[in-house]
A and B are shown apart, each in its own frame.
Chain A
Amino acid sequence: MGKTIAKSSIFLNFACVLISAFILIPVVIIFLTSLDPAKYIRFPPSGFSLLWYEYFFSNKVWQNGLLNSVYVAVLNTIISVPCGILAAYAYRKYTFKLKNIFNTIMIIPYVTPSLLVGIALLMAFGRTILRGTYFIVAIAHALWSTSFIYILMQAALSNYDFTYEEAAKDLGANLFQMFSEVTLPLLKSAFIAAILFAFISSFGEVTMAIFLVTSKTVTLPVLLWTSLKYELHPVATVASVICIIFAIVIFMLITKFFGTGMLSKIGM
């Protein structure tokens, strides 16, 4: 037995290296290109400089884009995390009428193409005072994100025993005490993962945002997209690197708090 494992692990290692290299190619290319001082995007790069990084952080438009993305992501997190968590909690804990229909409705935004959601919200709110606000972008993101957190929390709650909460009540805990002493500590890592997922999914989203932002509220991914489409300006590579770094850091945090087990459970 031990021998077979040792033998196959050579192939396994080889395969792992190959696949990792394949996955990393775009990231590496973008990263190297972002360090090229040339005035247009090309590969391989001709030199090494932080010129475009300097440009990115001194340019008002890109700075605003980054800030706008953070605003929208934070707003989306504030809206979608409580909604998603509470919906999943209610679904698991209680029996109520039309429970199956409720479950389906909660999952619909997750499976609806975001392009349609973007257009629909534009048509619905395009002529109202909400047009072009952070709020409407965050709402669009929250639709998807609530649905996703709902699914994520279902997975977390499938391992959660509600008897702990009954035991707490039985021993004299009121609702608030029960939540802070039992529910919160036991589900802490799931809650943190939900927050991080909500943030990153909104931070990098472009399809819905592109319909809903104005020049004032334009987010980083939208800026990136327009810049690539109309100018092919090299600062776009810097913006890409920043998006990637955000994503990587947050996924590392998620695996730290949540473990990889939960990710496989929800099919990520």
Chain B
Amino acid sequence: MEIAVETRNITKRFEKGRVVALDNVSIYVKKGEIFTLLGPSGSGKSTLLRIIDGLEEPDSGDVFIDGKCVTHVPAHKRDVCMVFQRLALFPHKNVFENVAFGLKMHKIDKNEIKKRVEETLWKVELNPEIYALRFPHQLSGGEMQRVALARALVLRPAVILFDEPLSSLDKRLRDKMRVELKQILKRFNLTAIYVTHDQEEAFVLSDRMAIINKGKILQEGTPRELYEKPQSSFIANFLGDTNIFKGVIKQMKGNLVIIELQDGICITANYTETPPISRDVLVSLKAEKIVLSDRPLFENHLEATVKEAIFVGEKIIYVVELNKELTLKVIEKNFGKTWRKGDRVLVNWLPDDIILIPE
């Protein structure tokens, strides 16, 4: 396993040290991997990206690119390229000049520049004959994205950094560009760090991802690992639609735990790794893992009343009430039997889908 980028114990403070933007952050990115930093706005993810790019210096800690320490190397001498949130295509330069910019700065021979720029424009599916002489203001949102990507790609950097470049596009185009971006990155076996606050974007793009909040990396792993095995209630809440409850462990037998949520309402869960330490636990249950029925389907089932049924097209979101204080969010496909407000139902789930959060 070759490491393309690594940060070690990066700490960065702003406003004379009053605001901690990054707190002892260590991540690594393997060669050919798409690594996503997912976090809410203000979590420090963009700052980390700017430190890797060289636009900011960390207060402490080190950045390694291709095994070399570059902490004090200025941005223009680092083998990384960034695709900016607002793209920052030079408005006074045409597409060719924009893409050629980096090569020109590195004093590459003119013919070589022309060859590489055209080659790269083809890579991002822009025909140079049509686009080379256009200016940024003559391009559509999607075309501008491609030019911004080409401008970074053409330098063949060790790693390409993305600072939420798709956030300005409308949803449909964003969904399309995401998939295309992933295809391009994978086709040319490029290493990328992608920063976003959009969970779906992170899931679509990432090989591996990290969740960052308040300047700290909370957990890292594959999208599935994070989704299925959150290690904190923040992550459980942040990813997907999650029901989180406090409970008390009543009984443990083998791998099964019986947890009492409230007087008389008990659920069964599996634990696979370490057993819970304290009797008080948090349990998480994803909204889409619950099935509503009129007959019991699985061992775990409870009676409930439908309080809300919200139709959102391909799915229906239900809010069901177990008792006055316990409500659940349930997401079902718009398929088969659907329920209406006031219906008495049974809520069912598999013990495997209950996640005990070690907190």
Contacts and interface: CB of A to CB of B under 8 A. Distances in A.
A binds B: yes
Interface of A: 161, 163-164, 166-174, 177, 181-182, 185-186
A175 to B, nearest CB: 9
What 8 pairs between A and B have smallest CB-CB spacing?
A171-B102, A167-B88, A172-B105, A163-B88, A169-B75, A173-B105, A170-B82, A169-B76
Interface in B5-58: 53-55
A170 to B, nearest CB: 5
A166 B53 CA distance: 10
A172 B82 contact: no
B254 interface: no
Interface of B: 53-55, 74-77, 80-82, 84, 86, 88, 90-92, 101-102, 105-106, 151-152, 155
Nearest to A177: B105
A173 B88 contact: no
8 contacts: A167-B88, A168-B105, A169-B55, A169-B75, A170-B81, A171-B151, A173-B105, A186-B91
A22 B59 CA distance: 64
Contacts of B54: 169-170
Contact of B81 (A161, A171, A185): A171
B55 A172 contact: no
Contacts of B151: 171
A171 B155 contact: yes
Contacts of A177: 105
A168 B91 CA distance: 12
B55 A166 contact: yes
A163 B75 CA distance: 13
A171 B93 CA distance: 15
Contacts of B84: 163, 166-167
B90 A182 contact: yes
B175 to A, nearest CB: 26
A206 B80 CA distance: 56
Nearest to A167: B88
B102 A164 contact: no
A186 B53 CA distance: 24
Nearest to B148: A167
Q: Which of B77, B84, B92, B105 has the most CB of A within 10 A?
A: B105
A185 B82 CA distance: 22
Given A163-B84, A177-B105, A181-B101, A170 B90 contact: no
Contacts of A173: 76, 101, 105
Contacts of A186: 91-92
A185 B91 CA distance: 10
Contacts of A185: 92
A258 to B, nearest CB: 16
B96 to A, nearest CB: 14
A107 B78 CA distance: 40
Given A164-B91, A166-B88, A170-B53, 20 more contacts: A163-B84, A163-B86, A164-B90, A166-B55, A166-B75, A167-B82, A168-B105, A169-B75, A170-B76, A170-B80, A171-B81, A171-B102, A171-B152, A172-B106, A172-B155, A173-B76, A173-B105, A174-B105, A181-B101, A186-B92
